Chains A and B, each alone.
Chain A
C-alpha cells in the first residue's frame, strides 16, 4: 500500500522515531555504561557520578585481572555451567517424555496424566512447602536442590504436547510397523520433528538457570563452593561486599575502595556477557517461543 506523506504523517513519523529510538537507547546505554566503567581508571571512576559513555582516563584491564584471579568467580562459573547443562539436558528429556505420554491417542492414561500435570498450573503449594519438601529429601546444601526441582513444569509439557499432536500419526505407525519401540519412536522419529519447540524450551531453561539466584540462596545457604555465579554477583553488586575479590594486603584503604568499585562493573560484564553474546543467535527462537504461547513468565 502506498502512503502519501501528508504533513501530519511527517510530524507523526518524527515523534514516533524519536520515541522509539529513545527507548532503544535507554535499553542499550546501561549496558554500554557498565562496559565502559569496567575499563575506566578506578580513581576517576570513584569521583564520577553520571553515565560513562567513554572510558574515564586511560583504559585499563586491572579490574578484569582481579576478577579472573578470584577463585570464587571461577567456581561460580563452573557451578552455573553444571546447573545449566544438567537442567537443560535432563529437563528437556523428561519434558519431551511427559509431552509424548500425554499426547498419545491410544493410551488410556494420557488424559488423566494431562489433567494431573495441568492442575499444577492452577494451584500450587507455594514457596515454603516446596522448601520443606526439598529439605526433607535431604537436598539442602547439595547440588541436586538446584537441578531436580526445576526439571519439569506444566507449561513446557503442554508446549511439547501440542507440538507432538501436530505430527501426523502416519510417521509413528510406519516406525511401529518397522518394529520400533516407543522410546525409539520418541527419540529417533518424533523428537527431530519437534526440534523448534525443543530448542525454545532448552533456550528458556538455559536463560532461567543462568540467571537464577533465589533457589540457590535458600537451598545452598552454607555451601559456598556450590554457589552459582549469580550469588557471588549478588554479594558484590547488592551487598556491596568486594572484600573477597580485592584483598587489602598492604595497599591503602582508599585504593581498596576504588578497586572494589571498579570490580563491580567487571563482575557484571563477566556474568552477563555469555547470555548476551548468545542472544543474537537465539533471537529467532526467542520470538517463536513467545508467540507459541504458554511460555512461563
Chain B
C-alpha cells in the first residue's frame, strides 16, 4: 500500500522539478508563484511612489516649477536653475563649507573612531571597558533636537563651554554660535561626541575577530605591544577600514542638514550653510522648488560619481570593494 501511494507522489515531484528546470516561461512561473506576484505589488508600488516618482520629479530642476501648474505645465527653463546656482553668490561658499565639514569629519572623526576601538581593546579591566563602551554609545540615542539644545546651552554667552574657552584661550565672551569662526569646530566636536562610540562598534567587532595566533607568533618574535597593534591588528582590520572609508567618501557631499538647520542663524551662514541646508531653506522655506531641485540633483549626481570612484579606486589598489 505504502509503496503504491509513494510512487505517484514522487513522480509528481520529479515532474514538477523537470518542468521547473525546462519550463522557464513567465506564464509558468506566474502560475507557480501566483501569491508571490500578488505580494510583489505593494512592494513595487512603495518604491515606485516614494523612490522612483521623486526621480521623475527631478524634471523640476529644468522648470520654473509651480505646484499649481504641476510637472507638465510649468514653464520649461532648461539649465537656468543650474546657472543660477553655479553663478550665484553663495555657490563657492556653500561648496567650500560642505567640503570642509565633510573632510574635517573624514580626517579627524573617522581616524578617532579607529583609535578609540584600538584603545578600548587595550583595556584589561573588563568592567571598566564594558562601562566605557556602554556610556560611549549613549549620545547616539538622543535626538538631534536634544543635542542641539545642549550645544545651544553650553555655547551661549554664559554657557559651560564658553566659560571654559574664555578662561583657557582668553577669547572674548560671546555666544559662540553667532561667531562664524567657531562653527566648524562646534559642529565637528558635537559630531564626535554623539557618534564616536557608535562608529567604533564596527572596528571593535573587527578587532575581536583577529586571530590570536598571529599575536602569539608576533610576541614570540619579540614584537612589543605597539608593534603588534601596528603589524597585526591594523592589517587585519584593514578591509573593514577601507569599506567604511568608501562609504564615507560616497557621502562626502551629504553633510547632515538636520543639525545645521537647528544650529545656524543668518550671522553664521558664511561658514554653516551647506548644500543640503541651502536646498531645504530655499526649497521648502522659500518655495523655490525648481532651483532647490537643481541643487539637489547636482548633489545626487556628484554623490553617485564619488561612490563609484572611491569604490573603483579601492578595488584597484586595496583589493576591497563594496559594490
Instruction: Determine chain B's interface SS by DSSP, over half rule.
Output: helix
CB distance from B61 to the nearest CB of A (A): 9
Q: How far is the CB of A9 from chain B (nearest CB, A)?
A: 7
Partner-binding segment picked from B39-47, B84-92, B180-188, B313-321:
B39-47
Most buried by B among A9, A28, A97: A28
CB-CB under 8 A from A133, the residues of chain B are 49-50, 53-54, 57
Please state if B215 and A117 are interface contacts (CB–CB under 8 Å): no
B53 to chain A, nearest CB (A): 5
| Cα of A275 to Cα of B145 in the assembled complex, Å | 14
Q: Are A26 and B193 in contact (CB-based, < 8 A)?
A: yes
A136: chain B residues within 8 A (beta carbon) = 67, 70
Among B96-104, B230-238, B266-274, B279-287, the stretch that binds chain A is: B279-287
By the criterion CB–CB under 8 Å, are B132 and A16 in contact? no
Contact between chains at B283 and A19 (CB < 8 Å): no
B interface, size bucket: 35 or more
Partner of A234, one of B135, B154, B262: B262
Q: Which residues of B contact A51 (CB under 8 A)?
A: 160
CA distance A239 to B77 in the complex (A): 38
Tell me if B119 is interfacial: C-beta within 8 Å of chain A: yes
Complex formed: what's the CA distance from A31 to B56 in Å? Answer: 45
Asked if B132 contacts A233 (CB within 8 A), the reply is no
For residue A101, CB closer than 8 A to chain B, the reply is yes
Tell whether B211 is near chain A: CB-to-CB under 8 Å.
no
Contact A182:B36 (CB < 8 A) given known A20-B119, A27-B139, A113-B43: yes
Name the segment of A61-69, A192-200, A243-251, A284-292 touching the other chain.
Answer: A284-292
The size class of the interface chain A forms with chain B is: 35 or more
In the complex, which residues 139-197 of chain B have their Cβ closer than 8 Å to any Cβ of chain A? 139, 141-146, 148-150, 152-154, 158-160, 163, 193, 196-197
Q: Within 8 Å of chain B (Cβ to Cβ): is A21?
A: yes
Chain A hits for B143, CB < 8 A: 210-213, 230, 233, 271-272
Please pick, from A17, A97, A271, the residue contacting B43 in the complex, using a CB distance under 8 A. Answer: A97
- Please measure, in the bound complex, the distance between the C-alpha atom of A148 and the C-alpha atom of B80, giving whole angstroms: 34
Asked if B128 is at the interface (CB within 8 A of a chain A CB), the reply is yes
Nearest CB on A from B141, distance (A) = 5
Given contacts A116-B44, A280-B134, is CB(A27)–CB(B283) below 8 Å?
no
Q: Which residues of chain A come closer than 8 Å to B29, judged between CB atoms?
A: 107-109
A133 to B296, CA, bound (A): 15
A292 → chain B, closest Cβ, in Å? 10
Q: What is the CA–CA distance of A129 and B57 in the complex, to the nearest angstrom?
A: 5
- The list of the 5 closest CB pairs from A to B, nearest first, reads A125-B54, A129-B57, A237-B149, A126-B296, A211-B143
A-B contact pairs, 15 of them (CB 8 A): A1-B216, A20-B128, A21-B128, A23-B116, A31-B138, A97-B39, A124-B54, A126-B296, A129-B53, A129-B57, A181-B35, A233-B149, A237-B145, A268-B146, A280-B134
Interface residues of A (CB under 8 A from B): 1, 3, 9, 12-13, 16-17, 19-21, 23-24, 26-28, 30-31, 34, 49-51, 94, 97-98, 101, 104, 106-109, 113, 116-117, 120, 122-133, 135-137, 148-149, 151-152, 181-183, 207, 210-214, 218, 230, 233-234, 237-238, 264, 268, 271-272, 275-276, 279-280, 283, 286-287, 290-291, 293, 297
Please give 12 more A-B residue pairs, beta carbons under 8 A apart, in addition to A28-B135, A94-B43, A279-B137: A1-B219, A19-B119, A24-B132, A30-B139, A51-B160, A109-B33, A127-B284, A152-B43, A213-B145, A213-B258, A279-B138, A279-B141
